């Protein structure tokens, strides 16, 4: 009788132990499954995929006159050399030389420039247009002036040879301050106006065309005053990806500068 009771108690203990082990195993499996499965909160908080994967780099031509994304540099000269935009206007902002032909830029760029300057002014940042569109003939004079001062090799670092200047596209704007401080000088980058433009110009479709440290890519020394209008869409995308030059963004970096 005693042996029978001991046997029954042993069986009960064994069955209980089996249930304990089974229950613990089931709990572990359930916990592991839930931990590996994304919760609703995790799905909702997943970062939005970068627009870089869907950005259409072929939306506009890179080598057609009038195109917003027209790349003009030492490797890609303007063709035809007599090109002149048909929609040049004088923007309604401060101008260094109101009667100069360089006070004009293309209409779309002018509208964005007006909005940018207006916003800047509301924040005590006072900007003006130093020079915009420059014809082929005028660029001949500008470039030759630098050659006389610096020699041709020196001139090629700071001025475009005729037929390769972004100013001829009508989408480039040299900007300055109403005080004329640091005009066309690298110290412009340290002024409140220069700093404001670096932080905000992309919102209006402009990029610093010749950034610091990119001379091997762009072919020119740092020009914190030279801005190129490329449209808000592209300027914002370049800002978001932290890509500074058109050559880098469109994989058009030259093997070496031709001069």
For the stretch 80-102, pLDDT in tens is: 999 999 999 999 999 999 999 99
Nearest in space to 94 (alpha carbons), one of 202, 37, 2, 179: 179
Instruction: Please state, rounded to an integer, the average pLDDT across all residues of the chain.
Output: 86
Cα separation, 139 vs 143, whole angstroms: 6
For the stretch 247-256, pLDDT in tens is: 999 999 999 9
For the stretch 152-175, pLDDT in tens is: 999 999 999 999 999 999 999 999
How confident is the model at residue 53, as a pLDDT? Answer: 72
pLDDT band at 51 (very low <50, low <70, confident <90, very high): low
Contacts of 70 (CB under 8 A, 6+ apart): 60, 61, 62, 63, 64, 169, 171
């Amino acid at each position: 009788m005693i042996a029978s009771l001991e046997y029954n108690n042993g069986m009960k203990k064994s069955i209980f132990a089996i249930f304990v082990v089974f229950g613990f195993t089931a709990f572990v499996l359930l916990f592991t499954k839930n931990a590996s499965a994304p919760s609703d909160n995790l799905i909702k908080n997943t970062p939005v995929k970068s627009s870089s994967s869907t950005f259409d780099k072929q939306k506009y031509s890179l080598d057609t006159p009038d195109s917003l994304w027209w790349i003009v540099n030492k490797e890609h000269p303007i063709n035809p050399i007599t090109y002149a935009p048909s929609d040049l206007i004088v923007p309604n902002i401060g101008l260094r030389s109101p009667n100069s032909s360089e006070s004009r830029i293309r209409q779309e760029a002018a509208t964005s420039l007006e909005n940018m300057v207006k916003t800047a002014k509301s924040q005590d940042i006072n900007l003006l247009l130093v020079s915009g569109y420059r014809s082929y003939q005028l660029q001949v004079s500008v470039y030759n002036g630098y050659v006389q001062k610096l020699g041709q090799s020196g001139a090629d670092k700071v001025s475009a040879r005729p037929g390769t200047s972004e100013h001829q596209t009508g989408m480039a704007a040299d900007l300055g301050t109403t005080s004329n401080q640091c005009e066309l000088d690298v110290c412009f980058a340290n002024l409140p106006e220069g700093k404001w433009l670096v932080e905000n110009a992309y919102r209006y479709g402009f990029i610093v065309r010749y950034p610091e440290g990119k001379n091997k890519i762009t072919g020119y020394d740092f020009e914190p005053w030279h801005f190129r209008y490329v449209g808000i869409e592209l300027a914002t995308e370049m800002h978001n990806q932290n890509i500074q030059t058109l050559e880098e963004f469109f994989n058009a970096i030259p093997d070496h500068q031709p001069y």
